[in-house]
Amino acid sequence: MASLRLLLAKPWIWSFIGALLVWLATVAFTGGYGGGGMITAALSLAVFTVIVGVGQMFVITLGPGNVDLSLPANIGLASAVAMKVMDGNDSMIAVGLLAALACGMAIGAANYLLIWALRIPPIIATLSASFIIQSIDISYGRGLQIKPPPGFADFTNRQILGIPVLAILTVLFTIGAAIALQRMIYGRSVLAIGQNIRAAWLAGVNVGRIRFLTYTLSGALGGLDGALLAGYFRGANVDIGNEYLLASIAVVVIGGTSVAGGKANVPGVWGAALFLVLLLTMLNTFGVSAGVRLLLTGLIIVGVITAAGGQKALR
Amino acid sequence: MRPEMTAAPVETGPKSSSERSALARARLLRGLLPALSLVLVLLAIAWLNPRAISYFGFSLMLNLAIPIALATIAQMFVIAGNELDLSIGTFVGFVGCVTATWLKDAPLVGVAILLGSIGVYALLGALIHLRNLPSIVVTLGMSFVWQGLAILILPKPGGKAPDWLLSLMAFKPPFVPFPIIAALLIAAVVHFGLMRTSYGVILRGSGGNAAALSRAGWSLLKTKVVLFALTGLFGVLSGMALIGITTSGDANIGNGYTLLSIAGVILGGGEFVGGRVSPIGAVIGALTLALSASPLLTFMHIPPDWQVAANGAILIIVLAARVLISRRER
Nearest chain A Cα distance for residue B140, angstroms: 7
Which residue from B minimizes the CA distance to A292? B148
Which residues from A are below 8 Å from B138, CB to CB?
302, 305-306
> How high is the pLDDT of residue B11?
44
User: When comparing pLDDT for A63 and B298, which is higher?
Assistant: A63
**Pick from B3, B155, B312: CB nearest A131:** B312
Which residues from B are below 8 Å from A296, CB to CB?
148
**Record: contact B142-A293, CB cut-off 8 A:** no
* One pLDDT digit (tens) per residue for chain B, 330 residues: 344 444 444 444 455 667 777 777 777 777 788 888 888 888 888 888 888 788 888 887 888 889 999 999 999 999 999 888 989 999 999 999 999 999 988 999 999 999 999 999 999 999 999 988 888 888 988 999 999 999 999 998 888 889 899 888 888 888 888 888 999 999 999 999 999 999 999 999 898 888 898 899 899 999 999 999 999 999 999 999 999 998 888 888 888 888 889 888 988 888 777 788 889 999 999 998 888 766 677 777 777 777 777 777 877 887 787 777 776 655
Q: How many CB atoms lie within 10 A of CB B200?
A: 17
Model confidence over A243-300: pLDDT tens digits? 888 889 888 888 888 877 888 889 989 999 999 899 888 888 888 888 898 898 889 8
**Record: contact B137-A253, CB cut-off 8 A:** yes
**Record: contact A119-B146, CB cut-off 8 A:** no
d(C-alpha A313, C-alpha B5), whole Å: 19
Average pLDDT estimate for A123-136: 86
Which residues from B are below 8 Å from A130, CB to CB?
312
In chain A, what is the straight-line distance between the N-terminal and C-terminal CA atoms, in Å? 36
**Record: contact B263-A67, CB cut-off 8 A:** no
Which residues from A are below 8 Å from B134, CB to CB?
253, 259-260, 305, 310
- Select the residue from B90, B316, B330 to test the A interface by mutation, using most A Cβ atoms within 10 A: B316
Question: Which H helix or E strand runs over A160?
Answer: strand A159-160
> How high is the pLDDT of residue A109?
95
- Fill in the amino acid letter for B95: V
Q: What 3-state DSSP class applies to A39?
A: helix
> How high is the pLDDT of residue A314?
38
User: When comparing pLDDT for A94 and A238, which is higher?
Assistant: A94
Average pLDDT, chain A: 86
Q: Does A37 touch chain B (CB under 8 A)?
A: no
Percent pLDDT > 90 in chain A is 31
**CA dihedral for A6, A12, A16, A22, sign (positive or negative):** positive
Which residues from A are below 8 Å from B4, CB to CB?
198
ipTM of the complex: 0.80
Q: What's the burial of A25, exposed, middle or buried (CB within 10 Å: 0-12/13-18/19+)?
A: middle
**Record: contact A291-B143, CB cut-off 8 A:** no
Which residues from B are below 8 Å from A292, CB to CB?
148, 152
d(C-alpha A267, C-alpha A269), whole Å: 5
Q: Does A33 touch chain B (CB under 8 A)?
A: no
> How high is the pLDDT of residue A197?
86
**Record: contact B149-A295, CB cut-off 8 A:** yes
**Pick from B5, B146, B308: CB nearest A119:** B5
**Record: contact B155-A291, CB cut-off 8 A:** yes
C-alpha angle A66-B145-A278 in degrees, rounded to nearest 5: 80
d(C-alpha B155, C-alpha A54), whole Å: 35
**Record: contact A260-B140, CB cut-off 8 A:** no
> How high is the pLDDT of residue B151?
93
**Pick from B144, B305, B315: CB nearest A135:** B305
Q: Which of A251, A278, A205, A207 minimizes the C-alpha distance to A50?
A: A251
Q: Does A6 touch chain B (CB under 8 A)?
A: no
Which residues from A are below 8 Å from B127, CB to CB?
306
Q: Which of B215, B186, B220 minimizes the C-alpha distance to B203?
A: B220
Main-chain dihedrals φ then ψ at residue A163, nearest 5 degrees? -110, 125
> How high is the pLDDT of residue A1?
58
In chain B, what is the straight-line distance between the N-terminal and C-terminal CA atoms, in Å? 19
d(C-alpha A79, C-alpha B40), whole Å: 37
Nearest chain B Cα distance for residue A145, angstroms: 18
pTM beyond 0.80, yes or no: yes
In angstroms, the Cα distances linking B117 to B48, B145, B152, B222, B230 are: 43, 11, 15, 18, 11
- Fill in the amino acid letter for A12: W
Q: Does A249 touch chain B (CB under 8 A)?
A: yes
Domains of chain A (ranges; CATH) run 11-26+34-308 (1.10.3470)
Selected residues 293-312 of chain A with any CB under 8 Å from a CB in chain B: 293-302, 305-306, 309-312
> How high is the pLDDT of residue A315?
37
Nearest chain A Cα distance for residue B127, angstroms: 8
- Select the residue from A69, A135, A140, A288 to test the B interface by mutation, using most B Cβ atoms within 10 A: A135
Which residue from A minimizes the CA distance to B152? A291
- Select the residue from B87, B133, B142 to test the A interface by mutation, using most A Cβ atoms within 10 A: B133
Main-chain dihedrals φ then ψ at residue A159, nearest 5 degrees? -130, 150
Q: Where does the pLDDT of residue A310 fall: very low under 50, low under 70, confident under 90, or very high at 90 and above?
A: low
**Record: contact B312-A301, CB cut-off 8 A:** no
Model confidence over A101-129: pLDDT tens digits? 999 999 999 999 999 988 888 888 888 88
**Record: contact A315-B134, CB cut-off 8 A:** no
**Record: contact B309-A135, CB cut-off 8 A:** yes
**Pick from A130, A139, A259: CB nearest B305:** A139
In angstroms, the Cα distances linking A192 to A203, A261, B1 are: 9, 9, 15
d(C-alpha A97, C-alpha A107), whole Å: 15
> How high is the pLDDT of residue A15?
82
Main-chain dihedrals φ then ψ at residue A183, nearest 5 degrees? -115, -10
**Record: contact B138-A120, CB cut-off 8 A:** no
d(C-alpha B73, C-alpha B63), whole Å: 17
d(C-alpha A225, C-alpha A104), whole Å: 9
Instruction: Residue count of chain B, please give it.
Output: 330
Model confidence over A159-208: pLDDT tens digits? 888 889 899 999 999 999 999 998 999 988 988 888 888 888 988 888 88
Look at the domain B29-329 and name its fold.
ABC transporter involved in vitamin B12 uptake, BtuC (1.10.3470)
List the domain boundaries for chain B: 29-329
d(C-alpha A28, C-alpha B28), whole Å: 66
- Fill in the amino acid letter for B171: F
DSSP string, B39-98: HHHHHHHHHH-GGGSSHHHHHHHTTTHHHHHHHHHHHHHHHHTT---TTHHHHHHHHHHH
H-type alpha helices, A120-265: 122-140, 150-157, 165-183, 185-195, 197-202, 207-232, 244-254
- Fill in the amino acid letter for A136: I
**Pick from A250, A298, A305: CB nearest B133:** A305
